[in-house]
Amino acid sequence: MKAYYSMFVQMKNRPCIVIGGGKVAERKIGRLLQVGAHLTVISPSITEQIRQWVDQQQIIWKEREYKRGDLEGYFLVIIATDQAEMNQLIYQEVNHQYQLVNVVDAPDLCTFIVPSTVTRGYLQISISTNGASPGLAKKIRQEIEDTFGEEYETYTLFLAEMREWILQQNLNARTRQYYFAKMLEDEILTRIKKGGKERVMDEIKQEIIQKRNV
Ligand SMILES: C[C@@]1(CC(=O)O)C2=NC(=C\c3[nH]c(c(CCC(=O)O)c3CC(=O)O)Cc3[nH]c(c(CC(=O)O)c3CCC(=O)O)/C=C3\N/C(=C\2)[C@@H](CCC(=O)O)[C@]3(C)CC(=O)O)/[C@H]1CCC(=O)O
Ligand SMILES: NC(=O)c1ccc[n+]([C@@H]2O[C@H](COP(=O)([O-])OP(=O)(O)OC[C@H]3O[C@@H](n4cnc5c(N)ncnc54)[C@H](O)[C@@H]3O)[C@@H](O)[C@H]2O)c1
């Protein structure tokens, strides 16, 4: 059974190219924009949404068909035309020494595939079926979105800020571990929902400071 290695890649300012400007290209571009990638799209036609990104100067659009040499210099390549043969031809020009490639209609050619993702603040949950059923990945994504609601945005911010603060407090390892564990108790999320993040942060900080001083 084939299996892919999962990893989270830093894409900020990385040059990426997408060949084709249809619905599938739009979905891939949207996710890459969210993580700060630099995008160029080559396609004679583009969707309404892609046109908006072009108008807002969020991406570069070359309004034409693919031609030889277009892939040169890009870290990440997405081949997303609706012409299977054309996609295969473009694929031949990938330089595997430095380029990662996704061919949207040919999973076996992909050096990476894109998972379905739930993002809540710092929390990112990615779901893949290794290409077996993208529809299932999407369905599970929707179920996870219901379980981990928008409150996790605030909660992960809270956890990150508290963790940093605790690490600066010169506590012994046991006390530190105690508070890291405490912040993961369900009760904390409930308190944040009720009283707000700042208030719960203040309360826990006070508790730690007071205990340290006895
Ligand atoms: C997760 C998601 C991420 C994204 O694209 O952002 C994604 N596909 C999504 C949706 C989706 N894709 C398809 C349908 C129709 C139902 C169905 O066919 O099941 C739906 C559902 C819908 O659109 O509602 C059709 C389809 N997909 C691929 C092929 C080609 C083939 O299999 O040969 C065909 C057949 C085309 C045809 O009919 O010919 C291939 C791939 N699609 C992948 C990712 C990779 C494997 C992911 C995994 O590990 O499972 C992989 C291998 C390559 C890649 O694209 O990276 C995104 C959900 C986002 C979300 O909403 O959460
Ligand atoms: N991986 C996935 O998630 C997934 C999901 C659904 C479908 N697909 C596959 O993806 C393919 C694309 O689907 P779509 O819905 O985006 O199609 P689409 O028809 O909406 O878009 C195709 C785009 O490719 C462009 N194009 C065609 N020939 C080109 C060329 N020579 N150079 C540059 N651009 C060219 C067109 O102008 C158009 O913008 C389909 O053939 C399908 O097999 C993949």
83, 31, 70, 77: which is closest to 53 by C-alpha?
Answer: 31
Token representation of residue 44: 């004679």
Give the ligand at the shortest distance from the Cα of 137: 1
Mind listing the pLDDT tens digit for each residue in 25-78?
A: 999 999 999 999 999 999 999 999 999 999 999 999 999 999 999 999 999 999
Tell me how far the alpha carbon of residue 73 lies from the centroid of ligand 2, in angstroms: 23
Question: Is residue 142 within 6 Å of ligand 1 at its C-beta?
Answer: no
Ligand 2 centroid distance, CA of 135 (Å): 18
- Residue 3 confidence class, pLDDT cut points 50, 70, 90: confident
pLDDT digits (tens, 9 = 90+) for 86-110: 999 999 999 999 999 999 999 999 9
Report d(CA 157, CA 126) in Å as an integer.
19
Question: So what's the pLDDT on residue 98?
Answer: 97
Q: Whose C-alpha lies nearest to ligand 1, atom 46?
A: 131
In angstroms, what is the C-alpha Rg of the chain?
A: 22
Our answer on whether the CB atom of 114 is closer than 6 Å to any ligand 1 atom is yes
pLDDT of 2 higher than 90: no
Ligand closest to 25 (CA) is 2
Q: Are the beta carbons of 58 and 35 closer than 8 angstroms?
A: no
Q: What is the ipTM of this complex?
A: 0.97
Q: Which amino acid is at 29?
A: I
Query: How far apart are the C-alpha atoms of 203 and 208, rounded to whole Å?
Result: 9
Instruction: Quote the pTM value.
Output: 0.94
Predicted confidence at residue 212, as pLDDT, reads 78
For ligand 2, atom 39: residue with the closest CA: 21
Q: What is the mean pLDDT of residues 108-114?
A: 96
Q: Is 115 in the pocket of ligand 2 (CB under 6 A)?
A: no
What's phi and psi for 82, nearest 5 deg? -95, 10
